[in-house]
Amino acid sequence: MARRPLPRILSNRGAHLARSRELARTAADSATDILHPLITIVRGLRRLASAGRRRVADTPKDRRGALLFLVASVLLVVLLLPYGPLLAAIALMAAAAWQGRDRAPAAPKGPDESQAQRLKSLYDALVPYFSSAGDPDPLYTHGGSWEKAFPAYEFDGTGRITHLVVVYPAYYTDGEAESRARIEHLLAAKSGRGREYHFAWDEEGNQLTVQVLAPLPADIAAQRFVTSPGETVLGFTDPMQVHRTLPLAHGEEQRDVPPVVWRTGIRSTAPHLLAAGQPGSGTSTLLRSVALQALRHGDVVIVDGGGTGEYACLTGRDGVLAVECGLAGVLESLRWAAHETERRLIAANRAHQAGDPPPEDTKRPLWILLDRPSAFTHLAAADGREDPQSLLQIPLRHGRPANVTVVVADQLDSLETLSDAVRQHTRARVLLGPATPEQVTAVLGAPPHTTPLDHVPAGRGYARLGTGPVHRLQVPATPDPYDDTTGADHRKAVLDLLPARSAQGDAQTEPTRTAPESGPVRRTPADATFTDKHSLEKKPVDPATTDRTVTEPYAAGTADTADTADTADTADTADTADTDTAPPEPVPVETAAAESS
């Protein structure tokens, strides 16, 4: 049965209400303007009546009779005089109008003496930068006036500048980063240290707008954000460049905060992320926040190079394929991730050639989170093993069409040890903690529009997604719930977001996995190698089938750990491999990518 359309009066009810409300507001404003003299006189009469009552109340009782006789005599004389009542009414109205006037003190025009002195000193400091010897009509001169140079300004209660518009000559090189940095540093130093300033350069109008930024909220706990699949909230920023807000629960209150949303997936322009910062700046907190959001729709492999158990709370959870903190386990997990990326590319390519949609096991996102991978680089070099970062080349280069996302977090002093693939393919960047403008530019690829501070809370920094602008960032509080120093509210918030314990992790036995359920064997961080030897065996695969198990390339890349297996098991595996049919050769990734294109 077809639905009948709503009546016009119901469908346009919102528009009618808005129009009626606007008409009522306009009518009230007009009536206030017209009746303003009457309102003033009524207010004055009320004040005169109140003053008369106070006068009578303050008069002693023995003198009230004489006072009333005097008032009555005055009224009688006024009534007997020619035009007396008319003159008395005019005098009363004049007195009421005088008493009913607006007595609010008028706002002072222009700055006071201290504010004018501050603007004058700021003007004198800008003279060497904005003046030229060949200018016939200089705007900035020694001993000049600052009124034309600063057309708009605002001060706070302490007398410091909160908003300032600076007009500069057209010949100033405002298109050079060095010239801008000099002016920004000068204005921040002269306007007051310890605050963050936002600088907006209008090159067309030759104006610079300086605005003091309010501190970002640092007490927002981790929670389920209102986002769609493929969107990850990195943190929160200022509402100047972000027009979207998220409803957040802050205790018992609800408020809207502008977020920094990172979009991943097949159509993402920045599919991988690199986070850097000083020790204690909050990079591990950022990775935990990303992991909790990624587990809602995908699987996660975590590599902990810090060795402090920051991610022990995620071990054995649903969707967490592995939490590695040993070199052998890291190599196995990253090698499996590379082969899983190849398998997804091959399966999707075959489906595209056949005109079918991609298989479901290639659509589920796979996240590879690495915290301080440079620590394993030194261990691998000392042990003569393969660098784990070399295994990230395939997920980084071909991860976007395979729904594989890589997130790397490391310290600022270790960025030089990161591989070229990590630095080239991580187009989403985050820098946390105190940093100089040069460090922000080196990590993000663009200078910040605000002044970095020397002391910032954990999780505070900057973010840039691809070629977009640089945003201030505050990561939501996502501490380790097993840390004794964590607050009760933040610990409970993280524990509520953790997935349930997987039955496979509780049973401590791992069956043989096929392609839809492939992944590293879950184990505790104390283990150093995989405990399921069946996942390392070569399985016969029918060449006619389109899907192949991941155990084939996974076993091919685990030759360096074959010595950990038992001798009898190895012999049984070799006999089985001789009698079974040889598996087909894997298709190179470059060939699959070329066929896909």
Q: How far apart are CA 30 and CA 41, in angstroms?
A: 18
Known binder of ligand: residue 341?
no
Residue type at 290? V
Cα-Cα-Cα-Cα dihedral of 443, 449, 455, 458, to 10°? -60
Closest CA to 428 of 285, 236, 270: 270
Q: How far apart are CA 97 and CA 488, in angstroms?
A: 62
Q: How far is CA 410 from CA 38, 282, 301, 468, 524, in A?
A: 72, 11, 17, 22, 23
Closest CA to 289 of 251, 261, 322: 261
Known binder of ligand: residue 284?
yes
Residue type at 571? A
- What is the layout of strands, in order, in the sheet containing 299-304? 259-263, 231-236, 471-474, 460-465, 428-432, 273-277, 404-411, 366-371, 299-304, 320-324
Helix (H) or strand (E) holding 152: strand 152-155
Known binder of ligand: residue 557?
no
Known binder of ligand: residue 519?
no
Cα-Cα-Cα-Cα dihedral of 251, 254, 257, 259, to 10°? 80
For the beta carbon of residue 47, count every other beta carbon within 10 angstroms.
15
Residues 6 or more apart whose CB falls under 8 angstroms from that of 182 comprise 129
Residues 6 or more apart whose CB falls under 8 angstroms from that of 520 comprise 301, 321, 322, 324, 329, 332, 333, 336, 530
Q: Are strands 428-432 and 460-465 parallel, antiparallel or unpaired?
A: antiparallel
Known binder of ligand: residue 281?
yes
Query: From the centroid of its chain, how far is CA 304?
Result: 24
Which residues carry a binding-site annotation for ATP? 277-284
Known binding site: residues?
Answer: 277-284
